[in-house]
Structures are given as C-alpha cells and as structure tokens.
Amino acid sequence: MKKKLKRSSSLFFITFLPFLLWQCTPKREEIVVRSTVAYPKISLRTDYYATSQASAILDITQSGVSTPYSIRFVHSINPDLSLSVEFLAGFGTQSFTKGDVLPFRATGLMPNSTHYITALLTLPDTTIRTDTVQFNTLAANTLGHFRPINSPLAQFGNNTQLGFATNGKGYLIGGNLSSQSLYLWEYDPQSGEWSIKKENQLASLAGAFFDNKLASAFMFNGQHYVGYPEASKWHFYSINLDTGAINAHATIEAEGTRLFVANNQLFVVGISTIAGNDQNKNLKVSEIDLTNSKVTNTYGVVTKNYDQVALAQMAGDKVHIVLTNFAQSAQAIHRFEPVAKTLTVATNISGKLPETTILSTFTANNQIYYFSKKANDNSTHYFSVFNPVNFASTRLTEYAGSAASNIFRLNNIFHIVGANGKGYMIEANF
C-alpha cells in the first residue's frame, strides 16, 4: 500500500513538473508591463481653465528615479501626441523630488472643449517616460466651482481681510486686532503662491478696520489706497506695493458707507437723516480731496424710506447707486454722472435684488457682479450679476463658507478672502 502511494506521488510530480517550471518562469508580458510603467504621475491642481491665457500648476510625483533628469510639457487638443502639439515649457536637467510643483502656461485654449497635457520625462539613459492628463475648459459666460485656496491663509490673520488685484498680481491685507499687526501679502498667478511682503505694526490703526465689511482698496492718481468708514469719518491708508508698507494718510469728515473712483475723482456716498423727518433722507455723494484731506463738493438728493447704500459701482458712463431699507424689502436705484456731477431721481426696483448684504462688487462687460451674504448669516455666500439697464439680478453660484469678507478678480479667476484663515477660488469665462 505504501509503495503504491510512493509511485503515485512520483507520477504526480513528473506529470506537473513542466507546469510548475512554467509558472516560475518570468512571463514576457509581465516584463513589458514593468518596463513601461508611466512616471512621473501628473495631476492638474486646477481642473478647469477659464480663458485662452490661463495658468496652471502641475504636481509632479517622481517614482523610481533619484538621478537628475529633464522634463517638459506639451499641450494638445488630441491625445495622439503627433497631432496639434504645442511645446509649453522645459525645465532642463535638474533633480526633482516627489510632490514637486512645476508651473507652466497653456495658450490657445478653446472654450467648452477637451484638452490634454502630457509630461515627457527624459532619463539619463535617454529613455522617455510620459503621462497624460485630460481637462475641460469652461463654456463662454459660465463659472467653474469653488475650491479652497491651498495657501497659508491662517497666517493672513484672524480678522477681516481685504483683497485686491493690480499690475497682474493679487494682494491681501489682513492681521490681528489684538496685536494691531497688519500684513500685506502678494499673490503670483504664475506660481499660484502667496508670499508676505511686509508686516506693518500700526499702533494708530483704528480697530474698526478689522471688523469693517465696507473697507475698499482703490487706485487714485497712481497711488494705491485703502479706505474705510467709521461713524462720520473716513480713514485712508496709502499702500507701497514695492516695500509693502501701509501708512496712515488722512482722516476726513465725510458721511458715507461706500466709495468709488470715477472720472479720475474719488467720491464717498451715504445716506443721512433729515432732522424732524423720519421718512425723508438725504442721499449724499461727496467728492474727496486726498491731497488736502477734505471734502470739496457734495451732491445730494432727497430719497424716501431708504436707510443704506447696497452698492455704488461704475458701469458704462454712470455710477449706479442702489439703496435699500434695513429690512431689505424696498430697493431703489439712483445714477450719478461723474462728468456732469448730477444725481438722477430714484427708480423703484423693489424685489430685483435678493435680500443679501453686498460685500464687494466689480464691473465686467457693463454688468455689475457682486459678492454677498444674508444678514446675520455667515454660513452661505452668493456670487451674482446685476444688469443696471433692466435691473435684473441673477444668482450665478453659491458656496458654504464662513466669515468671508470680499472677492477680487485676477485674470478671470476670483479669489474669495475671509477671516479665520478661510479662502476660496472660482474661475469664470466672461
């Protein structure tokens, strides 16, 4: 019985030996797969492009290479690299590590279409590895989606910040009320990074700046300023973008809650109560002389049942001033002509604007875009457009984010800044 078992085991081994040897032999297919694993792996940090001159950031993840190598990017409207290839950038021979971020600029992007970006990695032995990602561009007159800003926003300060764009770069002012520190940060759209320009110790800075939702940055006579209202005064600070210094410039007695620059002149606009009359109010537009720190002229008109200025924004050849009452149930619009310096009679537009507090505005294609939130509610913010011709207001998108203060536009990318280290970006194609 035992001999039969031995004979049977030997026969089994002899029968299946070729199969076992074949299993242990490396297969040609496996070797081929291993030799063609694509690296570096690339992924678009921004997954939508807004315009034909959009910047993008690629995250390069190195795998299996420790010696120097070169890398370049090509952009194509076809996944076949032999068709419609445009050379984007070359980085020469250098060492890269996992997670390196390399910027490039894509041009000639078509709206509402699919594009491809390919990274070509040349190894020291001249072997070329590639990896390709696909992305879609926005259709005309559309918005992308909100994304958190991957920046050290917590270092911007814990109180209200103010953002603005000029000379192709973005700037943000923020700080801490307790230490009276005010920082100026600069954003480079090519690298996608914020960097600190200067920490300003402003002991004289009024605390109202940090909690004031009406602070505005503006450019006047070639100089950048920040202005904000406090009671019946306006405080102005000059900004030196080269050094990052923010210095107190002037405090001017002027009633108003919004400011605007038109016809190379600075104005503030507000509403004051007429003594002995609770319904009738004065809408006042005051012309500011920053050089001599005074109001030079005031233009006014009586208005009824309105308590606050919702927005004052230039579009076309006029400044459009929207008034509301505290309940936001009644709305009217006046127009100020900066050349003739005249105010029109109010037009009732009740129900046209949603019941929100407008934080910041800008003009594009003679349309007024505004960023807003509901009163006493910081949980949701809205991005909308107002047509000053037919008074139609359209909500474009919204996002859930707390303590946002304003929004500024840079190369059709909108940066939303707020307190407590919060920040978002949204791209548009207007």
DSSP, residue by residue, 74-128: EEESSSSTTSSEEEEEEEEEE---TTEEEEEE--SPPTT-EEEEEEEEE-TTS-E
Identify whether the C-beta of residue 320 lies closer than 8 Å to the C-beta of residue 332: no
Give the span between the Cα atoms of 246 and 260, in whole angstroms. 20
User: Mean pLDDT, the chain, as a whole number?
Assistant: 72
Taking residues 65-87, report their average pLDDT: 58
Cα gap 331→354, rounded to integer Å: 10
Of 239-253, 321-335, 373-387, the least confident = 373-387
CA dist list (Å): 296 to 252, 268, 299: 11, 12, 10
pLDDT tens profile 280-321: 788 999 999 999 999 999 999 888 778 889 999 999 999 999
Pairing of strands 48-49, 357-364: unpaired
Asked whether the whole model's pTM tops 0.75, one would answer no
CA-to-CA separations, 303 to 51, 145, 262, 307, 329, in angstroms, rounded: 43, 40, 23, 9, 16
Which residue type, as a one-letter code, is found at position 381?
H
pLDDT in tens, 250-265: 999 988 889 999 999 9
Task: Decide yes or no: CATH 2.120.10.10 for domain 143-429.
Answer: yes
What pLDDT does residue 1 have? 45
Cβ(44)–Cβ(117) under 8 Å? yes
Structure tokens at 176: 């801490």
pLDDT digits (tens, 9 = 90+) for 115-133: 777 777 777 777 777 777 7
Domain positions in the chain? 38-138, 143-429
Yes or no: is domain 38-138 CATH 2.60.40.2550?
A: yes
Alpha carbon distance 385, 409 (integer Å): 14
Higher pLDDT, 106 or 56: 106
Q: What pLDDT is stored for residue 25 in this prediction? A: 39
Distance, CA of 369 to CA of 277 (rounded, Å): 34
pLDDT at 224: 94
In what order do the strands lie in the sheet containing 294-304?
Answer: 258-262, 265-274, 277-289, 294-304
380: Cα separation from own chain's centroid: 17
Cα–Cα distance between 286 and 370 in angstroms, integer? 23
Q: Tell which phi-psi region holds residue 351, choosing left (phi > 0), alpha (psi between -120 and 50) or beta.
A: left
In the numeric block, the tokens 């909500």 are attached to: 395
Distance CA 35, CA 296 (A): 77
> Minimal CA–CA distance to 41: which of 15, 81, 71?
71
The pLDDT-based confidence of 364 (bands split at 50, 70, 90) is confident
Q: What is the structure's pLDDT at 252?
A: 94
pLDDT tens across 185-206, in order? Answer: 888 877 667 788 887 765 555 5
- Could you tell me the CA-to-CA distances from 272 to 279, 305, 425 in Å, in that order? 11, 12, 37
Q: CA-CA distance, 57 to 93, in Å (whole number)?
A: 20
DSSP class of 155: G
Would you say the CATH fold of 143-429 matches that of 38-138? no
pLDDT of amino acid 109: 65
